[in-house]
Amino acid sequence: MIRFHEDKKVFQLDTTNSTYLLAIVEDEFLAQAYYGEKLAEPITYTLRLDEAPFTPSQNNRDRVSFYDVLPMAYPTHGIGDFREDCLNICSKAGHSVVKLAYQSYEITTGKPKLKGLPATFADDDQAQTLTIKMVDQAIGAEVELAYSVFSDTDAIASSVKVRNASKDTLWLEKILSGCLELPAGQYDMLSLHGSWARERHVERREIGFGYQGVYSKRGSSGHQDHPFIAVLEPNASQASGHVYGMHFVYSGNYMAQVEKNQFDSVRCVMGIHPEDFSFKLEQGETFQAPEMIRVFSATGLDGMTHALHDLYRSHLIRSPYLHQKRPILINNWEATYFDFDADKLLSIAKEASSLGIEMLVMDDGWFGKRTSDNMSLGDWVVTESKFPDGLCGLVDKVNELGMKFGIWFEPEMISPDSDLYRAHPEWAIAVAGSTAGLSRNQYVLDFSREDVVEHIYQKLSKVLHSANIAYVKWDMNRPMADLASANLPADQQGELSHRYILGVYQLQERLITEFPYLLLENCAGGGGRFDPGMLYYSPQIWCSDDTDAIERLAIQEGTALIYPLSTMGAHVSDCPNHTVGRNTPFETRGHVALMGTFGYELDVNRIPDSDKAMIPQQVALYHQYADLIREGRYYRIASFRETHWYDAAMVVSPDQKEALIIYVQVLAKANAKRNKIHLRGLAENMRYAVANENFSALGSTLMRAGLLVNDVHGDFCSRLIHLKSV
């Protein structure tokens, strides 16, 4: 619910459990007065306007000092607020001072779309939106700050739009999507970091003075950092304490920065990374910044996790597969790499179908002259020598086995050794006259160009129309560098990275519009573009190229902190694992993959018979628990990074009548007694029985006294514990 208190000049945005207050100060400045647990009344005393340096009407001699202490709702550049700002506009006069003043507001029902961008959505009875108009009369800039609250989650979505209302050209040099101000105190910062094959590991550290944060300048959200930060009270835990989360609905360059200043207060900002960014605005033109999500939780990380999971499931993912069981797929990449043809794929499909696997996915190597990663990206034509009966011939035979068929694309890339590059070298992102850097033997196509996007779309569409294809894995295997477009004028080269991402969004939007029942899974060298922006187009994203069950514990822990389990692409792969060389029990690999979309990444014709015999059992487990895992509420029970022994997570059904715990003993302990884990999320007065055990207890007992885990012997061993109400 959103209200404006005219007497206090305060906007009050209430979610179920939180309140966000914005105050108009002296009919000019917009300040954040409060964000935290729900309040019954609006307040402004938290702004401390009766203390030096006071407000300009009382003490204009210290206006700059006032700017430097006021908790700004949306800070701007060059006015004397020397903390990190959100908006920098260069005027025709050459200066970049932006001084916004409050002008008007509007409260509407529902949630507006953002043109060309992924964004949350809601029906009129599910959300309200506050739009505040700010203006800078000197340079002729109009800024709209939009804030949306939802009836069923504690998340708040915010975005920014700038319009050039002057007669002259303006250049956006920086536009972030949101700011969060926290009062003086001690805080920790939690972020997700990593690299290829070890994405989204949780890191928590104390916030010190100065700048700290995460970013990507790689053209994608990246393996190394993630467009998310949380600020926590030092004593905050999984289940208690105050947590403030910020998440960016965008798939390109970003920054998320925390700054502790001289007065111990903390400012957090998030948005498009300003490096290599500028955007030219002629008279009347607008720029829409991507959306930022903010969450406050008084119940620790659990509360933040549940708010984000609820938001993304109900208000971001649009796929018809959102509430459907996903087909169990087998991908041939680690089974064959480039060495395959129709017969080899069909042999895998025949054996897989007999074991209960439901879809065959053909990965890289089916097109052009592609026998290695040195060639043919961009030439999306089926290799006749591998498929003498054409793609349709293979797909029809797979369908006759009762299986669906999926295919891999890397639409954004081009190989120097390709027919497309020989015809259009200017379509690759590169500086004219210099040698552009290769990565994985490929260049990046200039998706800021409409002709490039159109050409690639027509190629993809033709392939998808040629056969009964139910699934697409969309890959993106290198970062962007040598930023230059042969199509953009000199004064718009800074628009390349953002226009590129808009081109990606446009192509994926067209894809799912023309093929509405296509199951699209995004991927970028594994988990290199796992972000909320991608979820708007695909209900699941390949979590990581590292499929080792033990490595996946940390990867999936960090991912599940902010994303629903149904979005995490997770497969059972062969051993020794192709990434780390580790051997783990087939059962453990299956249990860990159950906490995601579940599938296989191996050759079923070459694995041990004992492993193969377990596949029908794992398939049965998936069908038994898929609805619970997809729709249930997730709780992190224990993390191996903290216990150095075991890892545990659980999912509780919406009606609290059922729960599933996945317990992994990573390293065995000598002379250890049975471990005890404290469950969460159960109904206190409901009695639960443990499946296949002669034991039951009240939910309150299991949460306070804990549950003993039956003997688990050896390293890398796991157990599924199923609770049902009795």
DSSP sequence for 429-489: ---TTS-PPPBTTBEEB-TTSHHHHHHHHHHHHHHHHHTT--EEEE---S---S---SSS-
The pairing of beta strand 141-150 with beta strand 127-136: antiparallel
Under a CB-based contact definition with an 8 Å cutoff, are residues 239 and 258 in contact? no
Residue with tokens 């093929």: 515
Q: Mean pLDDT across the stretch 364-372?
A: 96
- pLDDT, position 712: 87
Is 517 exposed, middle or buried (CB count within 10 Å of its CB: 0-12, 13-18, 19+)? exposed
- pLDDT, position 446: 98
660-669: pLDDT as tens digits: 999 999 999 8
403-442 burial: b if 16+ Cβ within 10 Å, else e = bbbbbbbbbbbbbbbbebbeebeebbbbeeeeebeeeebb
Under a CB-based contact definition with an 8 Å cutoff, are residues 706 and 676 in contact? yes
Q: Residue 529 contacts by C-beta under 8 Å, 6 or more apart in sequence?
A: 220, 221, 222, 251, 476, 522, 523, 541
Selecting among 14, 68, 475, 647, the annotated active-site residue is 475
Say if residue 4's pLDDT is above 90. Answer: yes
- pLDDT, position 670: 84
Tell me the C-alpha distance between 418 and 436, whole Å: 16
Residue 603 is a catalytic residue: no
Under a CB-based contact definition with an 8 Å cutoff, are residues 135 and 100 in contact? yes
The domain segmentation of the chain, as residue ranges, is: 2-315, 329-630, 637-725
Say if residue 65's pLDDT is above 90. Answer: yes
Q: Mean pLDDT across the stretch 182-196?
A: 96
Percent of the chain with pLDDT over 70: 100
Q: How confident is the model at residue 672 (pLDDT cuts 50, 70, 90)?
A: confident
- Report the topology of domain 637-725: Immunoglobulin-like (2.60.40)
Q: Residue 219 contacts by C-beta under 8 Å, 6 or more apart in sequence?
A: 252, 253, 444, 479, 480, 497, 500, 501
Q: Mean pLDDT across the stretch 385-407?
A: 97
The pairing of beta strand 127-136 with beta strand 101-109: antiparallel
Under a CB-based contact definition with an 8 Å cutoff, are residues 150 and 264 in contact? no
Under a CB-based contact definition with an 8 Å cutoff, are residues 447 and 507 in contact? yes
Q: How confident is the model at residue 637 (pLDDT cuts 50, 70, 90)?
A: very high
- pLDDT, position 669: 87
Say if residue 564's pLDDT is above 90. Answer: yes
Does the fold of domain 329-630 match that of domain 2-315? no
CB-side neighbour CA atoms (13 Å) of 116: 13
Q: Mean pLDDT across the stretch 39-58?
A: 93
209-218: pLDDT as tens digits: 999 999 999 9
Q: Mean pLDDT across the stretch 207-231?
A: 97
- pLDDT, position 425: 97
In the three-class reduction of DSSP (H, G, I as helix; E, B as strand; rest coil), residue 114 is classed as coil
The H helix count followed by the E strand count for the chain is 15, 39
- pLDDT, position 27: 94
- pLDDT, position 398: 98
Q: How confident is the model at residue 137 (pLDDT cuts 50, 70, 90)?
A: very high
In the three-class reduction of DSSP (H, G, I as helix; E, B as strand; rest coil), residue 556 is classed as helix
- Report the topology of domain 2-315: Beta-galactosidase; Chain A, domain 5 (2.70.98)
- pLDDT, position 674: 87
Q: Mean pLDDT across the stretch 619-637?
A: 98
- pLDDT, position 578: 94
Under a CB-based contact definition with an 8 Å cutoff, are residues 61 and 150 in contact? no
φ, ψ (nearest 5 deg) of residue 642: -105, -40
Say if residue 455's pLDDT is above 90. Answer: yes
Q: Mean pLDDT across the stretch 164-190?
A: 97
CATH code for the domain defined by 329-630: 3.20.20.70
Q: Mean pLDDT across the stretch 248-265?
A: 97
Tell me the C-alpha distance between 459 and 229, whole Å: 39
512-538: pLDDT as tens digits: 999 999 999 999 999 999 999 999 999
Under a CB-based contact definition with an 8 Å cutoff, are residues 578 and 334 in contact? yes
Say if residue 336's pLDDT is above 90. Answer: yes
In the three-class reduction of DSSP (H, G, I as helix; E, B as strand; rest coil), residue 427 is classed as helix
Residue 475 is a catalytic residue: yes
Q: Residue 72 contacts by C-beta under 8 Å, 6 or more apart in sequence?
A: 29, 30, 31, 32, 81, 179, 181
Under a CB-based contact definition with an 8 Å cutoff, are residues 329 and 406 in contact? yes
| Lowest mean pLDDT, pick from 412-421, 560-569, 623-632, 705-714 | 705-714
Under a CB-based contact definition with an 8 Å cutoff, are residues 258 and 268 in contact? yes
- pLDDT, position 713: 87
Selecting among 136, 302, 364, 545, the annotated active-site residue is 545
Q: Mean pLDDT across the stretch 206-235?
A: 97
